[in-house]
Amino acid sequence: MKIAIIGAGAGIGFQSVLQALEKGHIVTALSTNTDHIAHHPNLIKINGSATSPLDLKKALKDSDVVLITVGTKNKKATTLFSNIAKTLISVADEVNFTEPVLVITGFGAGESKNYLSFFMRLVISLFLKDQYADKTIMEKLITKSALKWEIIRPGMLTNGNLTLSYKAINKLYKGMKVGKISRADVAHFLIIEAENPKMLYKYVALTN
């Protein structure tokens, strides 16, 4: 299948590129810098921006599924995530894109904020407050749109190995524990879900 990965240059996106190619999929990788991604006969690289309508159109063209995996090191007053959502919704409407869109935000966005552990509540409050506020806006925009969406909320991300021992939780409940998870495991879930979407129109928490 043809998988578009937006934010493919690092982290979850980069891991998703590697795993998708390994499974024989055709991958369109959009990132501000794709030069370090090794060339592959099934790989189409687009150096561009997730907030550029033109770049997004190129990525979405003929794709069977889209993965939004963009991250940022900017911890203050960012509007990156909501801007991506607005651009994506506009472009998808313009080109009549009706395939699944899997969107990475984070556990702590939206209503999941009320289910954070004390430690993670403190970390987000001190260091990631603006990011998560904008991720919440992103979620609201995506879920109220005509997109065939799925929101994926990983716990604290690590650079650990692929373990395949993670859990996907599609409901919020008192006492739930969402801890660390490797970017490789998040990527694995994304590719499996892209191949056979089972949790569309749901919010999915990922943890080890």
State pLDDT tens for residues 169-196.
999 999 999 999 999 999 999 999 999 9
State pLDDT tens for residues 47-67.
999 999 999 999 999 999 999
> H-type helices in the chain, by residue range?
11-22, 53-60, 80-95, 118-123, 129-143, 183-195
Q: For position 76, what pLDDT does the model report?
A: 78
Q: For position 192, what pLDDT does the model report?
A: 98
Amino acid at 100: P
Provide the 3-class DSSP secondary structure of residue 26.
strand
- Report whether 168 contacts 204 (CB < 8 A): yes
Q: Does residue 100 surpass a pLDDT of 90?
A: yes
pTM attached to this predicted model: 0.95
Q: For position 77, what pLDDT does the model report?
A: 76
Number of other CB atoms surrounding residue 23 within 10 Å: 15
Rounded-to-integer distance, Cα 208 and Cα 203, Å: 17
| DSSP letter for each residue of 122-169 | HHIIIIIHHHHHHHHHHHHHHHTSSSEEEEEEE-EEE-----S--EEE
Is residue 52 packed enough to be buried (19+ CB in 10 Å), middle (13-18) or exposed (0-12)? middle
Rounded-to-integer distance, Cα 168 and Cα 186, Å: 10
